[in-house]
Chain A
């Protein structure tokens, strides 16, 4: 019957609409030869016109990478990764001669970002937010650079920072996440292509939100970006990254490294809204998101705060961490991780207390639906000299349905008797009573789930910059579509 057919089609359309960033941009690209070798590393370095020291740094990482084992300790069902079946560099052809102004950027790229809801135009939707747009392996535009430089803030693609600020890059790159930290970080050190560099000078409060938007477009291409943020004495910056990718049947690798450094009295607030393509409901396709993020509170009274909303990716392996070296420094980790379908997430944080009277706070909210697995894994370590260290950890898990899993794996190591460490954990389910209560008041079942889950995550979502909090709430709701009924 026609009506039945229509319904079937509507349902199919709904399925496709679930991930609304799944489109592909048709654009001519230039790629490195497929596979990974010293030649690939040399190719990338040459493409970026890098100085010799950078190439040597990369090659050292590559040789180390060959010897390193895959980290297998996560609660993840990890398929064998064929590193030779991927491209490590892909750039839109139009980016060959770097466009000097926004007017020169390929219209196809402009359209892409418009479709993603973040137009590359200053003073539009995100007025007051400076954005670096990274498309596959290159940064295609960075807004508000001049205005920022006027107050001394450097915000540019890391490939340009290597050219323009080599001393800063040499000093700090790899100082928090060394090349050989783990296999994924090591791969990134060898083949990273772009990412953002931020330097906030002494005493400057960055006048606007900084943001990088990562987009993977090309088929069979990995994205390996590197972000380095240095906040000098008494400075402050709030930074946000967002990410999406087309819907594809093949898995794609995303191995990023983020390093944060705060000097005395400085503060970095780093927020992530991660929405990589998660694969379909049968677990086909999706991004492997293997990310090493770490910050060091080098100076006294400094602060690093990570906030993450993780809704995408087939597999997430990610532990944004803080090394609390300066006395009285503060580390925070606020996380919402949502898994649905066949997604797997193993995420959490490490708080390493080295300095005196250092404090850390961990608030983790895990939501599992469908047939997904969601693990919180966290380490709190107090060194012998960290007199007066304090940590508070709260891990809450929410289950939607009967076929998902939630796991909490806290590690606590204390070598100082004066440390005070608290850990609280809860696991709950969305109750039938809650859903009926909402529905009786007129709210549909799907919206009711969104409402209850948003309430569950509230403590974390309110940590996000205001411009993105509303978007994150929507995302939380969308990620759980199809999880009930």
Chain B
């Protein structure tokens, strides 16, 4: 589903990603781990197409289509979802309004009919029920006055409603206590399915106790240094990233 080939990218003229190769198939969960400053978040932003993150070489194929020149909203329409490390507040815009705008914009992009008010309410009620989220959250402004855990759960709700093919979780565990972490992980696990894929980006192994990956990759110095099964995460937890922190000859 996702094929990243020899991806080089820079931010403000500084090379961060220096040749990443990664394949993710439908139904798989991959984890990318790495020390601070290794390029983990850059990879997430490059996948989502954020301005100022420039691809200088290589490319990204999504469902066989080169998406590296697409705008962020077009990539969203193609089915890429990014759960943010720090979800943003939008005062005065209710979650319902935001989700409806987003879903219908994506449907429009894909040439599908937009949902009317009733259809949308039905859908969103079903999703909140599945995730055990109270309906009053929908009337609140997007992330305004939300606790850290609520913000992350809100992202998971958005993911459930938008139903992406690929969800990228960018350090979604940061700032969460263990209870909130479990709830978020539970939500993500409910959304695992045969026809979608998940890419978990994290510094710590603990999230992977709850979202168990099929493959783990170690990212350092802008490249994937090692790949393996879920046991690789445990090894990293034990040994730390020391092995990867020595400066290589650049």
Contacts and interface: CB of A to CB of B under 8 A. Distances in A.
Interface of A: 431-434, 436-445, 447, 451-452, 454-459
Given A447-B105, A451-B101, A439 B92 contact: no
Interface of B: 48, 50-51, 71-73, 76-77, 81-82, 84, 86-93, 97-98, 101-103, 105-106, 109, 141, 158, 162
Given A447-B101, A451-B98, A451-B101, A439 B76 contact: yes
Nearest to A433: B88
29 contacts: A434-B88, A436-B88, A437-B84, A437-B87, A438-B90, A438-B98, A439-B71, A439-B72, A440-B73, A440-B76, A440-B82, A440-B84, A441-B106, A441-B158, A442-B73, A442-B76, A442-B77, A442-B105, A442-B109, A443-B101, A443-B102, A447-B101, A447-B105, A451-B90, A451-B93, A452-B90, A455-B93, A456-B92, A457-B92
Nearest to A452: B90
A473 to B, nearest CB: 10
A479 B106 CA distance: 24
B105 A458 contact: no
B72 A452 contact: no
Q: Please report whether the interface of chain A is mostly helix, strand, loop or mixed according to DSSP.
A: helix
Contacts of B82: 440
Contacts of A439: 71-73, 76
Given A441-B98, A441-B162, A443-B105, A436 B92 contact: no
A438 B71 CA distance: 12
A437 B162 contact: no
Contact of B162 (A442, A451, A457, A458): A442
Contacts of B81: 440-441
A440 B106 CA distance: 10
Contacts of A436: 48, 50-51, 72, 88
A445 B106 CA distance: 13
A455 B76 contact: no
Given A437-B90, A439-B73, A455 B141 contact: yes
Contacts of B84: 437, 440
B30 to A, nearest CB: 20
Contacts of B87: 437
Given A436-B51, A437-B84, A451-B90, 13 more contacts: A433-B86, A437-B90, A439-B71, A440-B48, A441-B81, A441-B102, A442-B103, A442-B105, A442-B162, A443-B105, A445-B71, A447-B101, A454-B93
